[in-house]
Amino acid sequence: MDESRTENNSPLEASAASAESEAAQPQRPEVEELRRQLDEKHDRLLRVLADAENARRRAQREREEFVKYANESLLRDLIPALDNLDRALDAARAAGTAANLVEGVELTQRELLKVLERAGVTRYSAVGQSFDPTRHEAIARVVSSEAAPNTVVSERLPGYLLHDRVLRAALVAVAVAPDEDA
């Protein structure tokens, strides 16, 4: 029985082997089409990989900026304390007494400024500069024939930067020409 089964299957197996050999050798246009599809898929894969790398770099930059400016809120809260120290120093100097008080407040002010500098905060003065609305907040206009129009002539409060970002704009008085004030 086994021999008859083998003999009966042999022609079938032969035709199956023949069909497999034909399938193994696809026609020329089909090969070219498959290669083109493979190249397209490879190109898309490279683009997706590049997009993923760009997204990773962008996320890294955003994390670095977040860390760089993370203390911004705390530092904004410290600046009014520094302003109060400035006012106390001005009042003590105007009174002309209490030299030890002035010395102590000056020491405290210097220490607070050092703390702010270590955190990336710098204090800037605007007097004599052209008015810049991104760095200065005009609180007064002063008629002046001596200063050029749109120049900061006095400063109520200094400005502060956190690295390269304005933390608080300087409060300033800006010069205007005598005929502009009418």
Query: Over the stretch 83-134, which tens digit does the pLDDT of each residue have?
Result: 888 887 787 777 777 777 777 788 888 888 888 888 889 999 989 999 999 9
Is the CB of residue 139 less than 8 Å from the CB of residue 173?
A: yes
For residues 137 and 102, the answer to whether their CB atoms sit within 8 Å is no
What residue ranges do the domains of the chain occupy? 2-68, 71-119, 120-182
Instruction: State how far the Cα of 116 lies from the Cα of 158, in Å rounded to an integer.
Output: 14
Query: Which residues on adjacent β-strands are paired with residue 141?
Result: 174
Tell me the average pLDDT across 75-85. 83
Question: Do 85 and 108 contact (CB within 8 A), yes or no?
Answer: yes
- Three-state SS for 161? strand
Give the C-alpha distances (Å, rounded to integers) separating 180 from 137, 153, 159: 19, 16, 27
> What is the CATH number that goes with domain 120-182?
2.30.22.10
3-state secondary structure 75-133: HHHHHHHHHHHHHHHHHHHHHCCCHHHHHHHHHHHHHHHHHHHHCCEEEECCCCCECCC
* Sequence-distant (≥ 6) Cβ neighbours of residue 122 within 8 angstroms: 116, 160, 161
Residue 119: beta bridge partners? Answer: none
What band does 4 get if pLDDT is binned at 50, 70 and 90? very low
What confidence tier does 144 reach under pLDDT thresholds 50, 70, 90?
confident
**pTM, entire model:** 0.55
